[in-house]
Structure 1
Amino acid sequence: MPIRQFQAQHMHAPRDFIMIDSAPICVEIGAGKGKHALLFTREHPESKLIAIERTREKFVAMQKQHQLEGQTNLQTVHADALPWIVHALAPQQVQQFFILYPNPEPHNPAQRWLNMPFFEFLLSRLQVGGQITLASNIPEYIAEAEQQLQEIWKLPYVKEVIASDSARTHFEIKYLERGELCQQLLIQKPENYTTRFDDFQALAGVNIPKSDSAQSDA
């Protein structure tokens, strides 16, 4: 399906927005109660992870567990991911994005991540060689995402079946215990890949996207 251009310039900063520094980071979108975020930061003390959650109840649960565990390389954010990412992240700042078991939007396919115009902006924040991990228990969701990667975004990826003993999120545990097929796409940003937002920074004044389409010159 065709993808219209994302209107980043119309995104207002979230309430109580606090700017972050421009150091390389990892970002989890829709972090829920923080199970993966806490696990990742324990296992990768050299990496900083920002975990974003929109739902207040889940965010509070993640925040409380973070206070108990105390990882200094984890920052929790209560916000809608789209405006936060537009205002907080610099071009090519992110080493990894994690989108684990997102809402499949059964009644609104245009809101699935790889169908959204925003996905192009997300790619502009990813470092060359950086990775997006997209996991789902819905085969049709993964199949559609693969098609979009091939036809629209022109990005290399690897598809993996998630091991039955994996336990990164509460959803993942539940789905695997029910015997469901859980899969993930490991999406990589190659060299010479360009987007219309490569020079866009929301807090730097007026920005003009520099080309007409997302493309790879590789």
Structure 2
Amino acid sequence: MIMPIRQFQAQRMQAPRNFQPVENTPVCVEIGAGKGKHALLFSGQHPELKLIAVERTREKFVAMQKQHGLEGQQNLTPVHADALPWVVHALYPAQVQQLFILYPNPEPHNPAQRWLNMPFFEFLLSRLQVNGTVTLASNIPEYIEEAEQQLKEVWKLPYEKQIIASDSARTHFEIKYLERGELCQQLVICKPESYSTRFDSFQPLNGQNAEPADVQ
């Protein structure tokens, strides 16, 4: 089933608590970074790239922050925030080189909240550089199949479907799923030069619409 996509209301997004602006320089971004296993690996393997790792759950963020303090990668910035308002307030058009969404919540009871079914995905694409990539990984075949269908019918984007090697260990979830013998797959989605969105000129809100200080 093709999910209809309404327009994302970016201007209504309130700033995350303790929001810190981001410089308008090329970055990689991981959404839902968890305890930071992939973020730490990636930043260690690619010292020439800057990675911002966003995690909403405080417990997981603290674990990532602690491990980052031990390893000390200068090119990694952990961020504790909900990804949607953070992206709207922080990122510039065509700023992101690579975007990682690894083993997101499959939202079995709310398909509209899956990443490629969300209006927000159009905004996310506007932040991606030409020839930039989105890597979406899952251990659920139906999730990957639906995402493929959305890419073909709604977003009209080129992509490569890959089977993840059985010895891959990018995230704690990935290790667990592969040890169980589950099929893990990823879509590497590319933004072509001719691609456009309705948000290509939308500048980051940079802390406008900030929440009151006493709001949790």
Question: Residue 159 of structure 1: SS of its match in structure 2?
Answer: strand
Query: Would you say the 8 A contact 1:11–1:83 is kept in 2?
Result: yes
Distance 2:22 2:185 in 1: 32
Alignment-derived partner of residue 132 in structure 2: 130
Distance 2:8 2:198 in 1: 9
Distance 1:62 1:9 in 2: 30
Kindly report the root-mean-square deviation, in angstroms, between the aligned alpha carbons of the 2 structures: 1.0
Distance 2:148 2:15 in 1: 31
Larger RCO of the pair (alpha carbons < 8 Å, separation 6+): 2
Distance 1:203 1:111 in 2: 23
1:48 corresponds to which of 30, 47, 50: 50
Alignment-derived partner of residue 79 in structure 1: 81
Deviations 1:163-216 (A, max 9, x none): 000000000000000000000000000011000000001438xxxxxxxxxxxx
Distance 1:62 1:99 in 2: 16
Deviations 1:1-25 (A, max 9, x none): 2100000010011011010101100
Question: Residue 88 of structure 2: SS of its match in structure 1?
Answer: helix
Alignment-derived partner of residue 92 in structure 2: 90
Question: Residue 33 of structure 2: SS of its match in structure 1?
Answer: coil
The TM-score normalised by the length of structure 2 is: 0.94
Residue 173 of structure 1 pairs with residue 189 of structure 2 = no
1:15 corresponds to which of 7, 13, 17: 17
Count of aligned pairs: 205
User: Which aligned pairs between 1:1-218 and structure 2 lie closer than 5 A?
Assistant: 1-203=3-205
Query: Would you say the 8 A contact 1:9–1:202 is kept in 2?
Result: no
Distance 1:88 1:202 in 2: 6
Alignment-derived partner of residue 214 in structure 1: none
Gaps of 5+ in 2: 207-216
Distance 2:142 2:26 in 1: 33
The runs of at least 4 aligned residues of structure 1 exceeding 2 Å deviation read: none
The one-letter amino acid paired with 1:94 is V
Query: Would you say the 8 A contact 1:157–1:185 is kept in 2?
Result: yes
The one-letter amino acid paired with 1:21 is E
